[in-house]
């Protein structure tokens, strides 16, 4: 029996990640485990979950499993404008994309260095790695790492 073909979108993410930093929302299917789909489940992509204002992972934020450590990072996933509230991991992912762009503009032209700075400076919130990844994004710390080493 032939092995299953990899997801075509994940193959594209893998190809794109050779030249750029790929960021994707993990989805809003939490809190059950093992519900992160492509492209966020790709090893070539930074999968982003959502954190609430009280520093807890949002219930809706999709999770990996103990053997599939995704998301990679969590970021704020809520925007309020007056009485209007918009939330989801698709709100959180742009925080990570913007952070990567900021780090690149600060002179870190090596994408691996940018990704490492984002992940290595994340604030561990104490949740399992398949719920929070490395933790909550800390762009300020990542920028310090890029600038000062």
Predicted confidence at residue 8, as pLDDT, reads 86
CATH number reported for the structural domain that contains residue 126 in this entry: 3.40.50.200
d(CA 126, CA 129): 9
* Structural domain includes residue 103: yes
Give the pLDDT mean for 123-137. 98
Question: Comparing C-alpha atoms, which of 129, 91, 133, 118 is closest to residue 21?
Answer: 118
Q: Which two tokens stand for residue 27?
A: 């989805």
> How does pLDDT run across 108-125, given as a tens digit for each residue?
678 999 999 999 999 999
Domain of residue 58 covers 21-144
* Structural domain includes residue 99: yes
- Name the DSSP letter for residue 31: S
* Structural domain includes residue 34: yes
Model confidence band, residue 107 (pLDDT cutoffs 50, 70, 90): confident
* Structural domain includes residue 97: yes
Q: Indicate if the pLDDT at residue 3 is higher than 50.
A: no
> How does pLDDT run across 55-87, given as a tens digit for each residue?
999 999 999 999 989 999 999 999 989 999 999
Predicted confidence at residue 2, as pLDDT, reads 46
Predicted confidence at residue 1, as pLDDT, reads 43
In the block, residue with structure tokens 């002179």 = 107
User: What is the average pLDDT score of the chain?
Assistant: 92
User: In the chain, how many domains are there?
Assistant: 1
Q: Which two tokens stand for residue 38?
A: 């492509």
């Amino acid at each position: 029996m032939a092995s299953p073909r990899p997801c075509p979108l994940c193959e594209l993410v893998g190809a794109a990640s050779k030249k750029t930093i790929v960021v994707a929302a993990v989805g809003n299917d939490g809190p059950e485990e093992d519900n992160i789909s492509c492209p966020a489940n790709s090893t070539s992509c930074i999968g982003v979950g959502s954190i609430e204002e009280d520093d807890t992972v949002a219930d809706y934020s999709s999770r990996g499993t103990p053997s599939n450590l995704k998301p990679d990072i969590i970021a704020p996933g809520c925007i309020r404008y007056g009485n209007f509230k918009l939330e989801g991991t698709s709100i959180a992912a742009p925080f990570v994309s913007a952070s990567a762009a900021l780090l690149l503009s600060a002179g870190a032209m090596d994408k691996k260095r940018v990704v490492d700075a984002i992940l290595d400076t994340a604030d561990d919130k104490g949740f399992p790695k398949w719920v929070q990844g490395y933790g909550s994004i800390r762009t300020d710390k990542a920028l310090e790492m890029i600038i000062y080493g």
